[in-house]
Amino acid sequence: MPVPAPVLTPPFNTVRLSHACLNVADLEASRHFYVDTLGLQVTDETAGHIYLRAMEERGHHCLILRKSGNPGTVEFLSFKVLSEEDLDRADAHFRSGGRSTEWVERAHQGRTLAIADNLGTPIEFYHQMDRLPWIHQQYALYRGVKPLRIDHCNLFSTDVDASAAFYSDFGFRVTEYTEDEDTGRLWAAWMHRKGGVHDIA
């Protein structure tokens, strides 16, 4: 099957992948890994959440650790859109296609639209997030792997053609792909919004 044609005027403007919320069984053990080993910086903590950011990011967080009885799963992925109006356009786009939408409250960010993608992966869209001072030149904070920013995520799909079509429909573009030699169906696709190789794979 051919890869989806680029949608040059998408129904709303997605800027990039912003952050992910991971479900974990033990917040302290997870903190040790993500903070002491990887080198992410804690920006806030509650009884059930730890918020983290990487060294070159101004946004409040790129990763949320959430205490859960369902560890090892992703609670949601979140994408930043260009404007508040794009949130309303996104809501209208998904509802017009018969997809359920919900406005949800999230700490440290403004209005947030929640949906599920074509295979049920929870994804969210927002425009405004709390901004924090630069820390990339505070070298005493550097430890572990020292990630600079969130860049991309991998999504597992039982139907890559359908998933590529879903994300393409609101402006993601295929940069690379592999296909099954016998059927011609997609085996994997890399898609982007921010201009890099990919935001999602």
CB 7 within 8 A of CB 168: yes
Instruction: DSSP for 24-45, please give it.
Output: ES-HHHHHIIIIIIS--EEEEE
Rounded to the nearest 10°, the torsion over CA 39, 43, 49, 50 is 10
Chain position carrying tokens 């139907």: 159
Alpha-helical (H) ranges within the chain are 27-31, 84-96, 160-168
Distance CA(68)–CA(179), nearest Å, equals 37
pLDDT at 140: 87
Q: What is the pLDDT along the chain (201 residues), one digit of tens a residue?
A: 678 999 999 999 999 999 999 999 999 999 999 999 999 999 999 999 999 999 999 999 999 999 999 999 999 999 999 999 999 999 999 999 999 999 999 999 999 999 999 999 999 999 999 999 999 899 888 989 989 999 999 999 999 999 999 999 999 999 999 999 899 899 999 999 988 789 999
> Residue 49: what pLDDT?
99
What was the pLDDT predicted at 116?
98
Class at the top of the CATH hierarchy for domain 14-149: alpha beta
Helix (H) or strand (E) holding 71: none
Encoded tokens for 152: 């991309």
Question: Which pLDDT belongs to residue 105?
Answer: 98
Tokens of 172: 């993601």
**What pLDDT does residue 1 have?**
64
